[in-house]
Amino acid sequence: MEAISKKPLQLNPIKLSQPMGAMLCFLGIKNCMPLMHGAQGCASFTKVFFTRHFNDPIAVQTTAVNDITAVIDGGDYAISESIKNITAKVKPDLVGLFTTGLTETKGDDIKGASSLVKDIQQMVYVNTPDFEGSIESGFAKSIEAIIEQLVERANELDSNKALIIPNVNLKPIEVEKIKDTIALFGYEVFSLPDISESLDGHLGLKQGALSSGGISVEDIRKLANSSLVITIGKSVQKCGEKILEKNANINLFHFDRLGGLEDRDKFFKRLCSLKNISQPHPSIVRWRKRLQDALLDTHFTIGSAKVVIALEPDQALSVANTIMEAGATIKAIVTTHRNDLLDSIPCENLLIGDFEDVESFLHESDIVISNFHAERIAINHKKALLVRGFPDFEGLGNQLKNDLLYEGSSYLLFELANLINHHKLGVSHEH
């Protein structure tokens, strides 16, 4: 059982807010405009945050609640005016409306406000107060809202149609690799949302005012006839249950993680049994052999490493599972909110806390795996840092870092082992 930090407040938080997760979700829908219902600064911060992380333009608008509308408006005016302004310039296929702490605290009725403009613009609304939850739950709540409000009920199934529902930690290339892998089994694969086509770093013909790719609204409406639905990560497990309400005949499978060898074997065995085949595509078999070799090659380095992980729960679980297969010792996992699955990881310390808590475990560790904000404490303690999660403001190509399936797990192990070796070499040169 993880403990909760006993400090009266978090001084240097790891956690990111629910509205950020909602915004990222809507950016995975084609020709969508995320609309943050809150103060202008909230949207500006989030836009800059994701722009720096992905090194790509980010589409978002705000209702720009100010000191006057915060008092006298219940959301109707601000939302209606924002929709009028947006549609006067562009015509989104969808506007994704989500709240902030300010508008949730004052109790704005976003469902009612959305109904006032439904004849003007297709909307999806979701409540994402940033005084609770995290980027994981904001992302998951938005997927649930999309399913509830857009997906049409169905009774029939398309035997060759599959849907994946990724958690917020999956990078664009990872979503793409999972789609491509399932497609090898004969499926046409969709992802909800699909950031592999919008935030993957492709150079478009022009910079648009809306999201630059992703799953279309029309495809979303028809998702309930998917014969196979796969949810990836504990945070989105309920999303699978939501789509099952649209069609009880769907084959729904949930995987807590897709990193490492053992869990990937279960994933592919399940797909093979559905298609009644003895083994997957030769390229998958080949990558499994490469991962086996990677585990052997990196074991001598990673097997002696003591690691601190500070990430969102779903990502912490996936990374920990992969590196433990190579023998890593997990000294501590510091995460943002409770996830029962983390109890299954044999680590010495499991804590809901912040970077100050992370720092307390570094004296007896070799490396920390966390986001860009861990850089200062890693330098201060002369520890190696493997940057994962949001944000990474210094690294390039964040959208193309693959840590999942056999292929990505191999990349992760080699990257970690090389980093440990280079760090040891640097420390020895200092002395």
Predicted confidence at residue 75, as pLDDT, reads 83
Q: Which residue has the higher pLDDT, 339 or 127?
A: 127
DSSP code of 427?
H
pLDDT band at 29 (very low <50, low <70, confident <90, very high): very high
| Segment 108-127 mean pLDDT | 94
Predicted confidence at residue 9, as pLDDT, reads 78
Predicted confidence at residue 203, as pLDDT, reads 74
Half-sphere exposure (CA, 13 Å, Cβ side) for 381? 22
d(CA 44, CA 34): 13
The pLDDT mean for the chain works out to 93
- Give the gyration radius of the chain's Cα atoms: 22
Whether 3 has a pLDDT exceeding 80, the answer reads no
d(CA 409, CA 271): 19
| Segment 223-236 mean pLDDT | 97
Whether 205 has a pLDDT exceeding 70, the answer reads no
Predicted confidence at residue 209, as pLDDT, reads 79
CATH T-level fold of 18-138: Rossmann fold (3.40.50)
- The CATH number of the structural domain formed by 284-430 is 3.40.50.1980
Whether 348 has a pLDDT exceeding 90, the answer reads no
Predicted confidence at residue 428, as pLDDT, reads 53
Copy the structure tokens of residue 11: 């001084």
pLDDT (tens digit, 9 = 90+) per residue, 268-316? 999 999 999 999 999 999 999 999 999 999 999 999 999 999 999 999 9
Predicted confidence at residue 427, as pLDDT, reads 60
pLDDT (tens digit, 9 = 90+) per residue, 359-401? 999 998 999 999 999 999 999 999 999 999 999 998 999 999 9
In a 3-state reduction of DSSP, which class is residue 192?
coil
Per-domain residue ranges of the chain: 18-138, 158-279, 284-430
Whether 7 has a pLDDT exceeding 80, the answer reads no
Predicted confidence at residue 193, as pLDDT, reads 97
Bond into 13 cis (ω within 30): no
Estimate to the nearest angstrom the gap between the alpha carbon of 285 and the chain centroid.
27
- Asked if the domains at 158-279 and 284-430 fall in one CATH topology, the answer is yes
Angle at 166 between CA 346 and CA 313, to 5 degrees: 30
Tell me how far CA of residue 119 lies from CA of 86, 87, 309, 358, 388, in angstroms: 14, 12, 48, 50, 42
| Segment 206-217 mean pLDDT | 84
| Ramachandran assignment for 210, one of left (phi > 0), alpha (psi -120 to 50 degrees), beta (any other) | beta
Predicted confidence at residue 260, as pLDDT, reads 83
Helix (H) or strand (E) holding 252: strand 251-255
Whether 425 has a pLDDT exceeding 80, the answer reads no
pLDDT (tens digit, 9 = 90+) per residue, 40-96? 999 999 999 999 999 988 999 999 998 888 888 888 999 999 999 999 999 999 999
Architecture of domain 158-279: 3-Layer(aba) Sandwich (3.40)
pLDDT band at 104 (very low <50, low <70, confident <90, very high): very high
End-to-end CA distance of the chain: 40
Angle at 22 between CA 19 and CA 25, to 5 degrees: 155
Q: Which residue has the higher pLDDT, 67 or 194?
A: 194
* Pairing mode, strands 329-335 and 306-310: parallel
124 bridge partner residues = 96
pLDDT (tens digit, 9 = 90+) per residue, 134-151? 999 999 999 999 999 999
Determine contact, residues 135/150, Cβ cutoff 8 Å: no
In a 3-state reduction of DSSP, which class is residue 153?
coil
Predicted confidence at residue 236, as pLDDT, reads 97
Percentage, residues of the chain above pLDDT 90: 83
Determine contact, residues 282/292, Cβ cutoff 8 Å: no
Percentage, residues of the chain above pLDDT 70: 97
Whether 431 has a pLDDT exceeding 80, the answer reads no
Q: Which residue has the higher pLDDT, 241 or 207?
A: 241
* SS3 per-residue string spanning 326-338: CCCEEEEEEECCC
Predicted confidence at residue 263, as pLDDT, reads 86
Copy the structure tokens of residue 35: 């609309």
Query: Which region among 29-43, 72-86, 198-212, 323-337 has the lowest average model confidence (pLDDT)?
Result: 198-212
Copy the structure tokens of residue 105: 């605290």
